[in-house]
Structure 1
């Protein structure tokens, strides 16, 4: 991806990786906002896991590991995007 350099460059304007900035924000932002955003995120993950269970006949954890192994670059990119999205939601509601 052409934006990977932005995500990984420790000297960029964001001053770290998406994960490190998320951790900074989670520990310094308004606790009510962080709690709301994490609850919303977990509810979304719960729905996705239930949907996945309906379509996967095998062990769901094994299916997730296999998919992650086969699509590691895309999974890593998606995780970074989710960190950025969640950080943005927390920051925008904390102002």
Structure 2
């Protein structure tokens, strides 16, 4: 295993990189207006989720999230990849 393997999830992948790294490539190269729109939409959803969690768990919901991440690492990684791919699709489809 190379010292760079932590950077890439699929070392043997022809395109090298994880869905998150590919998302970053798209963000930096896609139409700026499209990226801004989708990132603003993402942030609104994130804000709504945080307000919802704060309402349900109080201001210490961050500790609950941290514990959830540790206890459900594989599921969180899978969902992170899925969200990255979803956001890539949104940006690419609007940039064509």
TM-score tier by shorter-chain length is: 0.7 to 0.9
- Displacement of 1:75 after TM fit? 0.6
- Displacement of 1:60 after TM fit? 1.6
- Displacement of 1:79 after TM fit? 0.5
Q: TM-score normalised to the size of structure 1?
A: 0.83
Unpaired segments ≥5 residues, structure 2: 1-8
RMSD (CA atoms):
1.6
- Displacement of 1:48 after TM fit? 0.7
**Corresponding residue of 2:47:** 46
**Corresponding residue of 1:3:** none
Query: Does residue 59 of structure 2 align to residue 34 of structure 1?
Result: no
Q: TM-score normalised to the size of structure 2?
A: 0.82
**Contact 1:34/1:90 (8 A) holds in 2:** yes
- 1:1-95 pair list within 5 angstroms: 8-12=9-13, 15-57=16-58, 59-95=60-96
- Displacement of 1:68 after TM fit? 0.6
Relative to its length, the structure with more helix (as a share) is 1
